[in-house]
Amino acid sequence: MSRYYVTTSIPYVNGKPHIGHALELVQVDVLARHRRQRGDEVRAQTGTDDNALKNVHSAEAEGIGPAEYVARVAERFAGLGKALELEFDDFVRTSSDPRHAPGVVKLWEACAEDFYRRSYTGLYCVGCEVFYRPDELVDGRCPEHGTVPEEVTEDNWFFRLSRYQDRLERLVEDDVVRVEPLSRKREVLSFLRSGLEDFSVSRSTDRARGWGVPVPGDPGQVVYVWFDALANYLTGPGYGTDDAGFRHWWADCPERVHVIGKGIIRFHAVYWLAMLLSAGIALPTTIFVHEYLTAGGRKISKSEGNADDPAEVVDGHGSDAVRWWLLSEVARAGDTDFTAERLVARANEDLANNLGNLVNRTVSMIAKFGPAEGDDPGATALREARADAADTIDRALAGFDFRRAVEAVTRIGDEANRYVQATKPWVLAKQGSPELPRVLGELLATCRDVAEHLTPFLPSAAARIAAQCDGAPIRPVFPRLIEAEDVRT
């Protein structure tokens, strides 16, 4: 048995969740469930980034205090756990979790030799919570949000990021910290080789409206949101509050995995690693960078006004369909356009027509023609698909290839449905053939395998399949979805 610690990034709570947030949550949930299924000791963590300036601005726009505002919005993010059938071990809210502020203070003090104070004027994007150099802008606008950064002059604490440039390059180049996929590793190396500049790690208390973790020994400053937020990966396991828990889940844990979106790669694969080097803390072992979901070719975001609430999408289509689309349709490289029509089509094709049809046919025929006894050595292609599935899923998820992992399950369904058409159990039943019990036995074993392999991806559906294999009342495991326009016609 191994030990595995996997995290999502933590989103700002300056607005309700959108379907893009669901992608990362489901990916991490699958990784965690898969490793638990394989017998490993697993910790999966998520949470919310409460202490950002943008959250303060959103609270002011509503005329309420930031504490009230972030508590309300964070609750919507926490609610995704039930909607999406997530099984996380921890949820860290950076503004209110009693473990977090002590850990941030400890991390600050551990990095003290790399801090210095200076005045700075720069172009600041509140959306990214970062200063940009003019040459990093696109036509004078933030490359991530398309907004014009504001010019800000501040006197803050800075971190000597430039000191770690050579070490960071070697660590990423040699895969001491594995950045996946390869295109993102190359992006990080390009950023490192372009030269690193020291970055601000505090904000004035006045500008932050007093919101955030105070800088130790300097009450006029609060800890900059990224230095604060990144620390959640340590504070959740106990850094600063629980030494044994921190050693178990970070310092001595053989796999420490971050799953993040491509827009925050520099903070995780550069800033975060440098902070940990400065503090003398073990580095993450792997950073997987996923692409964006888009709508009409545009990034899904609150500011774009194209952000479907995942809880509402689940209400309309069910958690199985949403989880399956995120796993089977979203590309490992390149953005993926989300539409309800694509979600329905994928659910109907893979779940209702393939896996659901297989299970319904099998249990119905067993109820009508049974018993299901023995197996059929002649089911060569079907047996091969079943035998290959576990290893294919293991290798695919080790490489964060969720599409290839779920394809191993649908391949079993494809082969099993072909097997049904080839053997025609209803004909065997009419003929009184002694082959019938073995054919039904082969199909029943196949459905049990489907339930087992499907468990990390669609946990409730897998349990329903297993129950029907054990004699539960027969009903469609995956009812066919109908879009509103289909109902009108």
CA gap 132, 401 in Å, rounded: 33
Are the beta carbons of 6 and 43 closer than 8 angstroms?
A: yes
- R_g over Cα of the chain: 25
Determine phi and psi for 150, rounding to 5 degrees: -95, 145
Determine phi and psi for 434, rounding to 5 degrees: -70, -10
Active site residue 145: yes
Q: What is the DSSP letter of 267?
A: I
- The pairs formed by 316-322 with CB atoms below 8 angstroms and a separation of 24 or more are 316/340, 317/343, 317/344, 317/347, 317/481, 318/347, 318/481, 319/83, 319/84, 319/85, 319/460, 320/347, 320/351, 320/458, 320/460, 320/461, 320/478, 321/346, 321/347, 321/351, 321/481, 322/22, 322/26, 322/84
Are the beta carbons of 425 and 439 closer than 8 angstroms?
A: yes
Kindly name the residue from 54, 100, 111, 125 that is annotated as catalytic: 125
Task: Give the contacts of 68 (CB within 8 A, at least 6 positions apart).
Answer: 59
Active site residue 125: yes
Half-sphere exposure of 68 (CA within 13 A, CB side): 7
CA gap 269, 267 in Å, rounded: 6
Kindly name the residue from 54, 100, 111, 128 that is annotated as catalytic: 128
Active site residue 111: no
In 49-134, at which residue ranges do the beta strands (DSSP E only) sit?
Answer: 90-93, 115-125, 130-132
Kindly name the residue from 16, 248, 262, 302 that is annotated as catalytic: 302
Kindly name the residue from 16, 145, 248, 262 that is annotated as catalytic: 145
Task: Give the contacts of 451 (CB within 8 A, at least 6 positions apart).
Answer: 462, 463, 465, 466, 469
Q: To 10 degrees, what angle do helices 165-173 and 182-193 make?
A: 160
Kindly name the residue from 100, 185, 299, 317 that is annotated as catalytic: 299
Amino acid at 167: R
Q: Where does residue 382 rank: exposed (0-12), middle (13-18), buried (19+ CB within 10 A)?
A: buried
User: Strands 115-125, 150-159: parallel, antiparallel or unpaired by DSSP?
Assistant: antiparallel
- How far, in Å, are 30, 363, 368, 423, 439 from residue 435 at the CA level? 39, 17, 16, 9, 6
Active site residue 317: no
CA gap 319, 322 in Å, rounded: 5
For residue 152, what is the enclosing H or E element? strand 150-159
Active site residue 128: yes
- Residue 89: count of CB within 10 angstroms of its CB: 15
CA distance from start to end of the chain: 55
Kindly name the residue from 54, 111, 142, 253 that is annotated as catalytic: 142
Just list the catalytic residues: 18, 21, 125, 128, 142, 145, 299, 302
